[in-house]
Structure 1
């Protein structure tokens, strides 16, 4: 009998590709064949970021077949402009939408994968109610300026921080809002919605939508050898530098694949790290700050010397091997004793004390799984909601506050870092949340059991 075959279709952004690739590896482990569809631009990035062996880069990765489709944009178009990306993909989306209906008629089954928090999903599904209650108009723009909360235990969110209204230039908002509406309609074609989260992290959100199946935090594999669709080649040279640092001494700074700072904000960030006087590892993508003076950055590097390290991309993703295989009590005991070797992942490294982050959901889960406190610096979409989880619900970090000019000053960054690093309550709470994540993915845990249920569902024959 032929193995079931799944076609995996992620939204064309790094934060969507990685968790769906992680889930794809889990499906392959359970005897399911997977064809993974990236846009042509992202397909090329994924292949270029894979370490090449003697035979070159394969289009078949550990049983996952990699294929590509056009994204509707021209060469040279800015694919970090989310509105433009959504608009360019619209033709492909229409074709996919039609194919879903055809697939339904042919008896081909569909499941929906949500790569963000359950709270983010709840927010999008409640758009009709938000329109009816007068929070937003029918185009998605806020009509009132206030903070709301859908249910106890869910993150409070201000109407100025709605994810579809904070995704780049305002002119791109209509396309993004319509994409959200289409996603809400498409969910009715799916037999099940699976979500990269776990019940103990978001009990209020899962209570609102009990049919959503949490299967996270997702892991590609326990040895961290399987590619997960990174768009940039990782610089592993920082790991030797980390090995030479003291326990819980390093401030890790990374803002994901989309965030872009203007030169002034970049300089304030750098000066804040210098002012804090602590060792730091800072990920600065080549496109992170367009227009920044190279001479200024070189001078900064000289001043911080060996205390700070700047890399273009690093192996943040994934966690220590024991997180996936030990019970929560063992996780805590082994981490404190420090007896397990490093797996080559930055957030799992014993030297990391704090994560200055944009609060993308993948980064939020990675920090959580490694019991790393957060200093939150959200940039767009759902990151403000994730920040609210971290600061207001889980209380595992603090947030920076921009000044009247919209710039986070160096004194603000330095001061908040000291507060996070000196707060024993934050560290205790983030350790407890890490333990809950361990329980969810361990044998008999809720997410572990849900993955098995999902696999069984995919293997059912009509």
Structure 2
């Protein structure tokens, strides 16, 4: 009997590619034949980063990588909205052509696509292929999208997604964070036309997801009991991390990781290090970056600060004030990009200053690390509410919440509050770590749902 051939299609952004590539690697180890579709640009970035070669993925796990063009010139990649435009106007045709090229010569058993790519579900249906939608974010985000008609009906938002101002926040479930219409993904886009287009895209994707035979999510019942009660059709199969499956490092990074930070961590006392990373999109302005540097200096604790990939012509010193490097000495370590799962699992790490992207959250949670939350856009505000209000494993920054600059004093004070142990944040984080690890082992909810998913893939 032939092993099933699964076509995997991620949304072409770092935070979407990594969890789907992690899932694909696990499926490939179970002897599914995986064809992973990246844009040419993203595939080149991953190959240059060595994250695939370092893990021997193609050779050892049988994953096949194919690419499609997104039609963007290099200058276009720096312009807001250009990627999302290409996702809507260019990629559907390119992916459809690829499916026609592959199938039926090498019959595709099913398609697993990011739930943000509603058109992928439509193409799968058109071609008579079974399809699963994969949610790389919190299940609450998908539940929110599914409840959009209700929000319009109740006057929370208008039919173009604009908050009416009648509701500061509302609850979908007592077990979920309060929803604030002003922080929805689309509501924080200033350009009215673009905001309307994004909202319409979300509505379309929500309808297209209903075409999927199955919806799986990189989350856990232990994290989002309320969300999964409201949408029982969503299967929790997370957290999907390399450390859960096989002890390997994550794959799919767009940037080369600086492994010297691991040697530096080995020289630090247990639980002493402040880890700072803001994901693949967020960039602090120079004033805020220097205030962060001074806040880290004030803590008098060792810190590891990821300032993302090196911009053209920039130096590390541009991220901190004059004399900072000399004053902190070896107490501070700054890198352009880090092996985050390995960093967060290191016993030296004591807290995580994070933008609250979902991947970063689950990577921190499975290692029992408390958070200092610094969200910027999209789902990050909802995720902060989970951390601070539902799980109670972290603190927020008042400056960030109000849209004003975060002061060095607040940064240092909140780090001290998290790490001195009086608030119980570390204890709750350790307890949640245990429950998440249990969930992905035999007898756990996520483990059982993953087995259901595998049975479905086998047809």
Is the 1:167–1:380 Cα contact (8 Å) retained in structure 2? no
Counterpart pick for 1:385 among 382, 393, 415: 382
* Matched residue SS, 2:304: strand
Do the aligned partners of residues 253 and 80 (structure 1) sit closer, same or farther apart at CA in structure 2, a change above 3 Å counting?
farther
Matched, 1:165 2:184: no
* 1:180-199 CA-partner distances (Å, limit 9, x unpaired): 12210211221110000111
Deviation at 1:273, TM superposition (A): 0.7
Matched, 1:119 2:134: no
Q: Give 1:321's aligned residue.
A: none
Counterpart pick for 1:312 among 328, 336, 339: 336
Is the 1:255–1:283 Cα contact (8 Å) retained in structure 2? yes
C-alpha distance in structure 2 between counterparts of 1:267 and 1:366, whole Å: 27
Q: Give 1:449's aligned residue.
A: 448
* 1:143-196 CA-partner distances (Å, limit 9, x unpaired): 115012210110113221112333686664333323312210211221110000
- Name the stretch that deviates more: 209-218 or 284-293: 284-293
Matched, 1:140 2:164: no
C-alpha distance in structure 1 between counterparts of 2:192 and 2:384, whole Å: 22
C-alpha distance in structure 2 between counterparts of 1:291 and 1:31, whole Å: 45
* 1:366-397 CA-partner distances (Å, limit 9, x unpaired): 11101100000001100100000000101100
- Name the stretch that deviates more: 232-241 or 396-405: 396-405
Q: Give 1:240's aligned residue.
A: 263
* 1:344-374 CA-partner distances (Å, limit 9, x unpaired): x110111111000001001110111011000
Which structure 2 segments of 5+ residues have no match?
A: 97-117
C-alpha distance in structure 1 between counterparts of 2:52 and 2:359, whole Å: 25
Do the aligned partners of residues 80 and 24 (structure 1) sit closer, same or farther apart at CA in structure 2, a change above 3 Å counting?
farther
C-alpha distance in structure 2 between counterparts of 1:312 and 1:105, whole Å: 43
Is the 2:51–2:253 Cα contact (8 Å) retained in structure 1? no
C-alpha distance in structure 1 between counterparts of 2:312 and 2:426, whole Å: 32
Q: Give 1:395's aligned residue.
A: 392
Q: Give 1:425's aligned residue.
A: 424
Q: Give 2:284's aligned residue.
A: 261
* Matched residue SS, 2:433: helix
Do the aligned partners of residues 170 and 307 (structure 1) sit closer, same or farther apart at CA in structure 2, a change above 3 Å counting?
farther
* 1:255-278 CA-partner distances (Å, limit 9, x unpaired): 000101111111111111111211
Which structure 1 segments of 5+ residues have no match?
A: 318-344
Do the aligned partners of residues 251 and 227 (structure 1) sit closer, same or farther apart at CA in structure 2, a change above 3 Å counting?
closer
Q: TM-score, normalised by structure 2?
A: 0.87
C-alpha distance in structure 1 between counterparts of 2:120 and 2:428, whole Å: 46
Matches within 5 A, 1:24-423: 24-50=24-50, 62-78=61-77, 81=80, 83-95=81-93, 100-101=121-122, 103-144=124-165, 146-166=168-188, 172-220=194-242, 222-225=245-248, 228-286=251-309, 294=318, 299-317=323-341, 345-402=342-399, 406-422=404-420, 423=422
CA RMSD of aligned residues (A): 2.6
* 1:243-301 CA-partner distances (Å, limit 9, x unpaired): 11111100000000010111111111111111121111100124689988739556321
Is the 2:68–2:91 Cα contact (8 Å) retained in structure 1? no
Do the aligned partners of residues 303 and 148 (structure 1) sit closer, same or farther apart at CA in structure 2, a change above 3 Å counting?
same
C-alpha distance in structure 1 between counterparts of 2:211 and 2:60, whole Å: 29
- Name the stretch that deviates more: 438-447 or 67-76: 67-76
Do the aligned partners of residues 12 and 79 (structure 1) sit closer, same or farther apart at CA in structure 2, a change above 3 Å counting?
farther
Q: TM-score, normalised by structure 1?
A: 0.87
